[in-house]
Structure 1
Amino acid sequence: GVIPAFTTEIEAVDDPALIADAGLAVEKASEAFLPGDKIVSLQPVAASDSADQSTPELPVRLIADLRRVLATYADREMIYNVERKADGGKSTVVRIRVPAQPVRKLGFWMAMGPIRAIQKGSPAAEAGLQVGDTIREVDGLKPGEDIDPLTLPVYFGKKSGQQVVIRYSRASSSGAVEGECTLTPASDLPGWMESPDSSTAPLTIPSIGLGYQVQNHIAKILPGSEAERVGGLSQLTRITKIELLHPDPGKGKPDAWGNAETPVELPLTATESSTEEEVEANWAWAFDQLQRAPGRKLVLHFDDGKSTGTVTLQDLELEENWGLWVRGFNPGIWRDERVLLRAHSLPEALALGLATTRKVAFSIYRSLKKMVGREVDMESLSGPVGIAKIAYKVAERGFVELLVFLGILSINLAILNFLPIPILDGGHMVFLFWEGITRRKPSITVINWAHAAGMIFLMSLLAFVMWIDFFVSNN
């Protein structure tokens, strides 16, 4: 699927406190960010100098630009140059300082997994690496023993223009074959510029063009870490699930995972949609998720091959030279980038209207198909209350945006009305087709039972979406 690009402008939100996630760097900014603020540039503060003019300003327009700069200077304090509208419509530029956010150390490294994807024409492809290969050494450093596999994107990002020697293993019919190649990262694309967007997505190394798996079993326990002190974990122990719990649920502020009372589970297995088979999640995905709620303690569910159990980690140390690639903005606050197409004649307006209607209609049918195939969570539906909330937010963006939203809503209702459900127009069409094929009308009994079933279905659907509105969406 494709989604619109997101700009660096903060949308109007009901509660400005929700702009920053609890416990992350934005919450500690020198000044609060406000609805309507637009980040126009970033200025990394030099590590040895806190003066504002220590480094040049880096312009940003889209969230992708913002993410790239933040990942490049993840361990540096950042100055955000923010365009803020004042009373009277005039804009001023506000400089807001946001500290770096160190990565939380878990006290162990996981095992290196195989390469899952290689970009065509990338340094990795030109060096001869293939999907399924497993990297064993990078410049003599063994992932899982001498270097954390999760830091490889950062390592390669800092090696732009320099040769890197990789030793790898490759499966063959006669067994594993060892190989070696030398490559040069083509650009200074930083590590963790993009995070795994699903539990099974690979962790990418943008500077060499490959993605890889990080396994869910432990390769090394770090000496002196909390993981070593609490015991229970050892080499080859497999982590099966992570729970994120707030230490004081009654008093905690909402974080990236919602209110503090809500425990969060990160299962480390997933179902492959195409095969319905259970596959192992990428540890890099779980690692990224737990970094976004630093106020929560971790309950690790493990399986060491002999027994299962849990270990709780709550006093995690921070990395000294590895900063988090995000600073703690709520990801739902950004205004998306849209270009409004305006018709200059009646025929052009009709053509644009028909094209948009067709596109929206096909999108709705695809969404319904995915819901039936359980590819989309049914809790993503909205009822009357949810639709009213969305309409209110859209109306704040202007009358034209509201008209577009109402048009999309009308198309939704039209399509739902023509679904083959008794009591709706689509159900009546089914009866008409039946009459046309059999040359006789269905009996009154059949029609009455069908209408009763249709009414029960619609009332059940209404109750379900109302439950989502009041009990799911509010959480």
Structure 2
Amino acid sequence: MEVMLTSLLIGATLLGKVTNIAMVAIGLGLVIFFHELGHFAVAKWCDVKVERFSIGFGPIIKSFKHGETEYALSWIPFGGYVKMLGQDDVDPSQLTSEEIALDPRSYSAKPVYQRMGIISAGVIMNIITGMLFFAFAFRLGVASTPCVVGAAIPGMPAWEAGIQPGDVITKINGEKTNSFMDIIRSSAFSDGDIKMEGIHPNGEKFEVDITPDRTGTRPQIGLLQSQSLQIPVYEDPGMSVTAKGTAASKAEPAYQPGDTFVTIDGKPVENYAQLQRLFAARSSETLKTGVTRKGASESEVVEITVGNNPFHTLGLWMDIGPIESIQKGSPADRAGLKAGDKITHIDGQDVGKVINPLRLPNYFSSRAGETVPIVVSRAQDGAQPAEVNLNVVPLDNPAWLEHPIFSNTPLSVGSLGIAFHVIPTTLKVEEGSPAHKAGIEADAHIKKIRIMPPEGEPLSEWQGLEEVSYEFDDKNMNWANAFWEMQVRPGWPVELTYSHKGQIKQAKLTPWVNPNQEEGQQWSLPVRGIKLQTLRETQQAQSMGQALGMGVQYTTNSAKDIYLTLRSLFTGRVSPLELSGPVTIAKVAYEVSNDGYSQLLLFLGFLSVNLAVLNFLPIPVLDGGHMVFLCWEGITRKRPNEQVLAAATYVGMIFVLGLMIFVLYLDIFL
């Protein structure tokens, strides 16, 4: 019976995937079809002979002839074309041919205004269909990500400005926000600072000015969207809702898809920010988590006991780097700490030899509300660094709440409001630890770390986790990030390449949980290994009229976004590496199809508007290029020179083909 049920589930999953692929193919085909249908319909209306109507380019797969027109499906599915008598992008001389112009049904024989109508019809059709796609999506109900902050990346502008998990962003530059995409959009297209207004979890309103970071491929401020309190329900029955090797995977009874958190130790939990804070604040404790279960009575709460996740370490204590950034208005800011300061002593104890820098978040969190004396080494212009004595009063913020999940992200001490890198130079090796047994000594310089899958265990069991490696140098000192990746892969063996006393050495180690820690006092992670859905809210029109209004607004905003993207590309504010090609478009379309018809319709609407705007760029071969030549003809009353037209067309072809090759390269290799 169990085997039969599993087979049915797998069969249903495969059928669902085939259905999704078919939906995507039909959807993308419709976007192209409607564009070409616009050209075709207006050409027929203007009595132009249409020789071929093709979906796709290149060799023809199948075709049939109805009347004077051949209808074809071609091999290369990156667009389509309508071939009219007297208009052929491959042979631009037709546009200036006197012989063809004598045929009253040729494209070139028609007045300029009719040819403008034919050329612009495809773009107009895409705008109309895009608006309708959006309208139907909003009538069904569109799931969007609200402007609730899940995390602020340490060291990034939003973190420095004091944005906290659970903050709700209500306005950006005076305009009301509708979804988390507004935050990403405003950051990417900003010319200067962004003014953000919002509400902290405690109900306090705030207003901050943030300068986006422009060192990456696009400007960003470093905010991540929030998760919900619900465990996802995966389409694939083989997907687990807990991470392997974590406390959640051993919870009793087991967590199930669709479970929603409602209590921790009997106390209500209202949102994800509160849940993650409780998990972090009580990281070493075993907790009773109350969940409502899918299919059960709403009043029924299932209590699940989940333990803690101890940190897996190598027994290496590294050197602390200078403070990278400081949050405005934080205890560190008020105490007079500055970026570039290096903390050398806390409570009279040496940082690196008596206090492990990786445990500073826990140290200061445990001293919340107390006055803690610290000593920093501060650089002086043209002089030796000065030793500065300061006092800080930490806030009651849990340790490791802001974990370094991205490469080169500094380690933050949330209770102080500072972030620093951990330099991969060993100052101390714990006796009996994996590093000690491997012969690693103090003053070793780690050059590279590889975190490898355990031998004999199928990688599929780890559900998406792969081998990772980091190389360290003067610019890459992200030991904290590598350390976090070890926690994500509990028990995975590690290979270190390091130098010591001029010699390059290698060591293979298996991270341990220090057995010398007292029970209940273990150094534990702020997470339990439970997967949660992204927080979503539904925007749904109550009538078709309202849906059309929302469709018009979304079409206008989408066109504006595309224009701003192009402007940012030309000004260098956004890198060309942010571009996507047909492979990524197909992948994204498939992924959104898993979320239902409304999300697919929304994506197809955006694709339609995208096609409309890009097609009307003044590039020869594209509709916009043809419109430029028609404007020239309308103003001068003369057709463009055949040689100029041919040269421009071939340059346009090379540009479009080059762009296509470039985005395909990005899709496949990056």
For residues 29-428 of structure 1, the aligned pairs below 5 Å read: 29-43=251-265, 56-62=266-272, 64-86=273-295, 92-173=300-381, 174-186=383-395, 188-231=396-439, 233-248=440-455, 251-255=458-462, 258=464, 262-268=466-472, 279-304=475-500, 306-314=502-510, 316-318=512-514, 320=517, 321-330=522-531, 333-338=532-537, 340=539, 342=541, 349=550, 352-354=553-555, 356-358=557-559, 360-361=561-562, 365=566, 373=575, 376=578, 382-384=584-586, 386-395=587-596, 399-418=597-616, 423-426=621-624, 428=626
Asked if 2 retains the 8 angstrom alpha-carbon contact of 1:383 and 1:462, the reply is no
Q: CA RMSD in A?
A: 3.6
TM (norm. structure 2) is 0.58
After superposition, the Cα gap between the structure-2 partners of 1:82 and 1:226, relative to the gap in structure 1 and judged at 3 Å, is: same
SS of the equivalent of 2:592 reads helix
1:8 is matched with which residue: 229, 232, 241? 229
* CA offsets 1:340-370 (integer angstroms, 9 cap, x no match): 2747865954663355425643675489678
Following superposition, the deviation at residue 103 of structure 1 comes to 0.3
After superposition, the Cα gap between the structure-2 partners of 1:35 and 1:430, relative to the gap in structure 1 and judged at 3 Å, is: farther
Following superposition, the deviation at residue 279 of structure 1 comes to 1.5
Rounded Cα–Cα distance in structure 1 between residues aligned with 2:641 and 2:484: 61
Following superposition, the deviation at residue 96 of structure 1 comes to 1.9
* CA offsets 1:103-123 (integer angstroms, 9 cap, x no match): 012111000111111122221
After superposition, the Cα gap between the structure-2 partners of 1:14 and 1:461, relative to the gap in structure 1 and judged at 3 Å, is: farther
After superposition, the Cα gap between the structure-2 partners of 1:7 and 1:166, relative to the gap in structure 1 and judged at 3 Å, is: same
Asked if 2 retains the 8 angstrom alpha-carbon contact of 1:382 and 1:465, the reply is no
Rounded Cα–Cα distance in structure 2 between residues aligned with 1:285 and 1:299: 16
Following superposition, the deviation at residue 35 of structure 1 comes to 3.0
After superposition, the Cα gap between the structure-2 partners of 1:13 and 1:266, relative to the gap in structure 1 and judged at 3 Å, is: farther
SS of the equivalent of 1:336 reads coil
**Residue segments in structure 2 that go unaligned for 5+ positions in a row:** 1-183, 185-222
SS of the equivalent of 2:451 reads strand
Following superposition, the deviation at residue 416 of structure 1 comes to 4.4
> Residue type matched to 2:441 in 1?
S
After superposition, the Cα gap between the structure-2 partners of 1:424 and 1:21, relative to the gap in structure 1 and judged at 3 Å, is: farther
Following superposition, the deviation at residue 9 of structure 1 comes to 1.8
SS of the equivalent of 1:154 reads helix
> Residue type matched to 1:266 in 2?
Y
Asked if 2 retains the 8 angstrom alpha-carbon contact of 1:10 and 1:335, the reply is no
TM (norm. structure 1) is 0.79
* CA offsets 1:37-80 (integer angstroms, 9 cap, x no match): 2222323xxxxxxxxxxxx5251412x32221111111112222
Asked if 2 retains the 8 angstrom alpha-carbon contact of 1:128 and 1:181, the reply is yes
Bigger proportion of residues as helix: 2
After superposition, the Cα gap between the structure-2 partners of 1:361 and 1:185, relative to the gap in structure 1 and judged at 3 Å, is: same
Rounded Cα–Cα distance in structure 2 between residues aligned with 1:360 and 1:11: 31
* CA offsets 1:276-301 (integer angstroms, 9 cap, x no match): xx722332111112210013111112
Based on CA coordinates, which of the two structures has the bigger radius of gyration? 2
Rounded Cα–Cα distance in structure 1 between residues aligned with 2:292 and 2:527: 21
> Residue type matched to 1:132 in 2?
G
Rounded Cα–Cα distance in structure 2 between residues aligned with 1:143 and 1:112: 7
Asked if 2 retains the 8 angstrom alpha-carbon contact of 1:4 and 1:338, the reply is no
Following superposition, the deviation at residue 91 of structure 1 comes to 6.8
Asked if 1 retains the 8 angstrom alpha-carbon contact of 2:259 and 2:294, the reply is yes
Rounded Cα–Cα distance in structure 2 between residues aligned with 1:298 and 1:426: 56
* CA offsets 1:170-215 (integer angstroms, 9 cap, x no match): 11122111111222223x1111011124322221111122212211
After superposition, the Cα gap between the structure-2 partners of 1:230 and 1:459, relative to the gap in structure 1 and judged at 3 Å, is: same
Rounded Cα–Cα distance in structure 2 between residues aligned with 1:198 and 1:223: 31
Rounded Cα–Cα distance in structure 2 between residues aligned with 1:430 and 1:101: 64
After superposition, the Cα gap between the structure-2 partners of 1:349 and 1:451, relative to the gap in structure 1 and judged at 3 Å, is: closer
> Residue type matched to 1:23 in 2?
G
For residues 411-450 of structure 1, the aligned pairs below 5 Å read: 411-418=609-616, 423-426=621-624, 428=626, 440-441=640-641, 443=643, 445-446=646-647, 449-450=650-651
SS of the equivalent of 2:350 reads coil
* CA offsets 1:424-447 (integer angstroms, 9 cap, x no match): 435545766888899834636535
Asked if 2 retains the 8 angstrom alpha-carbon contact of 1:364 and 1:412, the reply is no
Higher mean alpha-carbon deviation, 366-375 vs 333-342, is at 366-375
